[in-house]
């Protein structure tokens, strides 16, 4: 049960599903493995704490995140890892000073609807760190939820695409290279990057692509190198880096199909005429 009075739509559109299938194919061709994303409910721990997102961060507010009434808390977390995450937040380590505040287990236990698929990436990287290290390339495409006002470019639920590469000796150049490779498969060949901030990546970059039709640069995603404060408590070796990026599935779909209102694409106000006219139709089952 959700706090508040929110009804989530379960409509999907064929343009979006086509782009989704195309993206999956691109990742598979690039040698990426799909991550299991079949849990919409996640604990704050994996969604935020494991990602070195401080407990006072505004994204953790009920105005931004849908918290669950029942079950309101998670039952199981890996205790020794939780202790290391607490330490990195409170006092730092691995050459970091941490955030210097009292980290509260009750905050980490709170269940929510995942706000990004990076929650899945944090689980996967933790699992990877429990075995002798082997490089990996992972991707996911699935639904996320944010408690925000709906307008022509924002919905309370949408889909995220996420890619990550975990290997020894990766640099920002590798990230820029893999982003060029990935977006060129979508026909987006002109890219620009702008410094950005995420609690879990450093450096971080917003990704812009030049849209020939709109004759302007449009933001297409967010990216970065996961911070040691995230990776080292998991147990990944010191010389292992992770480059990652994320974007909403709705964004490239709108750009590629020239749709200018996100509500035409997904959610309760979707244009059923558009769905009926399109050749493939699938109703929001992931
Ligand atoms: N999680 C980020 C978002 O929700 C996207 C992202 C993924 C950024 C991976 C950097 C690295 O916007």
Domain boundaries, the chain: 15-277
C-beta of 223 in contact with ligand 1 (< 6 A): yes
- What are the start-end ranges of the E strands in the chain? 33-34, 41-43, 111-113, 136-145, 157-168, 191-198, 201-211, 216-226, 240-248
Strand, coil or helix: what is 283?
Answer: coil
How far is the first Cα of the chain from the last one, in angstroms, to the nearest whole number?
20
pLDDT over 90 at 2, yes or no:
no
When pLDDT is cut at 50, 70 and 90, the band that residue 160 belongs to is very high
Pocket test for ligand 1, best of 222, 226, 249, 250 (most atoms within 8 A of CB): 222
Q: What is the pLDDT of residue 223?
A: 98
Inter-residue contact 241 to 225 (CB < 8 Å): yes
Ligand 1 centre to CA of 62 (Å) is 20
Q: Is the CB of 140 under 6 A from ligand 1?
A: no
pLDDT, tens digit, 9 for 90 and up, residues 107-122: 999 999 999 999 999 9
Smallest CA separation from ligand 1 atom 10, residue: 223
Which pLDDT score, from 0 to 100, does residue 4 have? 40
* pLDDT for position 182: 96
Stretch among 15-29, 46-60, 210-224, 245-259 having the lowest mean pLDDT? 245-259
The pLDDT of residue 193 is 98
Q: Indicate whether residue 198 lines ligand 1 (CB < 6 A).
A: yes
- Of 69, 70, 74, 72, the residue nearest 4 (C-alpha): 69
- pLDDT exceeds 70 at position 13: no
**What is the structure's pLDDT at 213?**
79
Nearest to 103 by CA among 118, 92, 95, 116: 92
How does residue 163 score in pLDDT terms, banded at 50, 70 and 90?
very high
For ligand 1, say whether the CB of 200 is within 6 Å of any of its atoms.
Answer: no
Task: Indicate whether this model's pTM tops 0.75.
Answer: yes
State the pairing for strand pair 136-145/191-198: unpaired
The reply to whether ligand 1 has any atom less than 6 angstroms from the CB of 43 is no
Residue 277: the pLDDT is 62
CA of 153 to the centre of ligand 1 (A): 18
Choose the residue to mutate in 59, 116, 242 for probing ligand 1, maximizing ligand atoms within 8 Å of C-beta: 116
Assess whether the C-beta atom of 222 lies below 6 angstroms from ligand 1.
Answer: yes
Question: pLDDT class for 67, splitting at 50, 70, 90?
Answer: very high
Cβ(246) to ligand 1 under 6 A? yes
Asked whether 221 lines ligand 1 (CB < 6 A), one says no
* Cα 111 to Cα 113: distance, rounded to the nearest angstrom: 7
Query: Using CA positions, which residue lies closest to atom 4 of ligand 1?
Result: 116
Confidence band (pLDDT; 50, 70, 90) for 5? very low
**In the structure encoding, which two tokens stand for residue 209, read together?**
């692509």
Q: What is the pLDDT of residues 199-232, one digit of tens each?
A: 999 999 999 999 887 788 989 999 999 999 999 9
Q: Name every residue whose Cβ is closer than 8 Å to that of residue 83 and which is 6 or more positions away in sequence.
A: none
Q: Which fold has domain 15-277?
A: BirA Bifunctional Protein; domain 2 (3.30.930)
- With a pLDDT cut of 70, the percent of the chain lying above it is 86
Among 11-15, 261-265, 281-285, the least confident range:
281-285
Q: What is the pLDDT of residues 185-208, one digit of tens each?
A: 988 999 999 999 999 999 999 999
If you count them, how many residues does the chain have? 286
Rounded to the nearest integer, the mean pLDDT of the chain is 88
- Does residue 224 have its Cβ closer than 6 Å to ligand 1? yes
Q: Is 116 near ligand 1, meaning CB less than 6 Å away?
A: yes
For residue 160, give every residue at least 6 positions away whose Cβ sits within 8 Å of its Cβ, in sequence order, or none: 116, 117, 140, 141, 142, 143, 144, 246, 247, 248, 249
Given a cut of 60, whether residue 150 has pLDDT beyond it is: yes
Indicate whether 62 pLDDT > 50: yes
Asked if residue 235 lies in contact with residue 129, where contact means CB atoms within 8 angstroms, the answer is yes
Tell me which residue has tokens 């706000």.
Answer: 115
Predicted confidence band of residue 275 (pLDDT cuts 50, 70, 90): low
């Amino acid at each position: 049960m959700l706090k508040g009075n929110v009804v989530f739509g379960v409509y999907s559109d064929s343009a979006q599903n086509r782009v989704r299938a195309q993206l999956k194919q691109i990742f598979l061709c690039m040698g990426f493995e799909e991550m299991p994303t079949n849990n919409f409910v996640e604990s704050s721990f994996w969604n935020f704490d494991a990602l070195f997102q401080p407990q006072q961060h505004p994204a953790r507010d009920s105005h931004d995140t849908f918290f669950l009434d029942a079950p309101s808390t998670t039952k199981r977390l890996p205790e020794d890892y939780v202790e290391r995450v607490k330490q990195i937040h409170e006092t730092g380590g691995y050459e970091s000073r941490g955030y210097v505040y009292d980290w509260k287990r009750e905050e980490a236990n709170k269940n929510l609807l995942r706000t990004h698929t990076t929650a899945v990436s944090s689980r996967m990287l933790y699992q990877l760190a429990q075995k002798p290290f082997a490089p990996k390339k992972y991707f996911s495409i699935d639904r996320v939820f944010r408690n925000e006002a709906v307008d022509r470019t924002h919905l309370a639920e949408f889909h995220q695409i996420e890619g990550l590469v975990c290997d020894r000796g990766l640099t920002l150049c590798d990230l820029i290279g893999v982003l060029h490779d990935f977006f060129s498969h979508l026909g987006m060949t002109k890219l620009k990057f702008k410094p950005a901030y995420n609690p879990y990546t450093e450096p971080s970059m917003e990704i812009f692509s030049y849209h020939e039709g709109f004759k302007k640069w449009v933001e297409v995603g967010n990216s970065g190198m996961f911070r040691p404060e995230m990776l080292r408590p998991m147990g990944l070796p010191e010389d292992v880096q992770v480059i990652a990026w994320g974007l909403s599935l709705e964004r490239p779909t709108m750009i590629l199909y020239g749709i200018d209102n996100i509500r035409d694409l997904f959610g309760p106000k979707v244009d059923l005429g558009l769905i009926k006219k399109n050749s493939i139709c699938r109703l929001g089952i992931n």
